Chains A and B, each alone.
Chain A
């Protein structure tokens, strides 16, 4: 436990010194401001466009739902991409530099490394996501007051859960291949595979990728919470089993 606390502390110091914390906070703050802005500005930009032949686009006035649609789109794409890039070196850098060898030979357990890295990455992701969510909520509430959000907790929770899944995936990829590109490619490969699987209609309900993109339908009550419960459970189980597999592989790996 003592080594776990010490290693986690070291992880946070590292995040601060490698600018990981600052970059994540800045990007998610940006996404939080951008989402309501895009929702507000898009109809105005479109309404000026003349398609020729007297056809003019008339866009309806933006609502709070447009703002949240932008939020889910931005966080689901740009946010996840940033998350993947910033945490891609989380294991690989350490293995490449050989900085783990001394700690492990001094008796630190290998699972401590994985769990501590997962915990610190999760804390960073949670903090930046909450920052983004708060900023977006404040702007949305300011411009479109008293908007009704149904299933708000599950909708916002599910995209967070997908982020956790990605972190577990990055750690697993890093352990498996031992370099930055292995980590990145594992993550991207899984996302591409899941996206392709999403073409099959009967898989959609159980596909974790639904958590990254499909939660707006939850917020505007097109779908019920029950539709998303199975995929939430599947995603959590997958994240946990990825962590367990990482520990198993790491225990057998020669550093």
Chain B
């Protein structure tokens, strides 16, 4: 990968969005302790390890009612 420079216009926004989603869902998981299903360790692992799928799943169907 000698021409990383060429890919920077892609990689920076990608990294920002990924990290943003991941952090947002992680913070939400840590600050709330009721989930529609699953438990805290499961959601932490899902949010950190599955790219965008974990956060999307968490916000859509995993998040408990407040």
| Interface members, chain A 1-43 (any B CB < 8 Å) | 18-20, 22-23, 26-27, 29-30, 33-34, 36-37, 40-41
For chain B, give the interface size range.
Answer: 20 to 34
A22–B24 alpha-carbon span in the complex (Å): 10
Is the CB–CB distance between A30 and B7 below 8 Å? Answer: no
A180: min CB distance to chain B, Å: 6
Is the CB–CB distance between A139 and B10 below 8 Å? Answer: yes
Choose among A19, A88, A97, A180 the residue with the greatest number of B CB atoms under 10 Å from its CB: A19
Is the CB–CB distance between B60 and A86 below 8 Å? Answer: yes
Q: Which of A36, A88, A97 is close to B61, meaning CB atoms less than 8 Å apart?
A: A88
> Does chain A have a CB within 8 A of B14?
yes
> Does chain B have a CB within 8 A of A82?
yes
Q: Mark B51-66, 1 if CB is under 8 A from A, else 0.
A: 0100111011101010
**8 nearest A-B pairs in the assembled complex, by CB-CB distance:** A37-B10, A19-B59, A85-B60, A86-B60, A30-B17, A23-B59, A33-B13, A26-B21
Is the CB–CB distance between A88 and B60 below 8 Å? Answer: yes
Is the CB–CB distance between B55 and A23 below 8 Å? Answer: yes
> Does chain B have a CB within 8 A of A89?
yes
Smallest CB gap from B3: residue in A:
A44
- 22 A–B pairs (Cβ distance < 8 Å), ordered by A: A18-B59, A19-B24, A19-B28, A19-B59, A20-B59, A20-B60, A23-B55, A26-B17, A26-B20, A27-B21, A29-B17, A30-B17, A34-B10, A34-B14, A37-B11, A82-B56, A85-B56, A85-B57, A85-B60, A85-B61, A89-B60, A89-B61
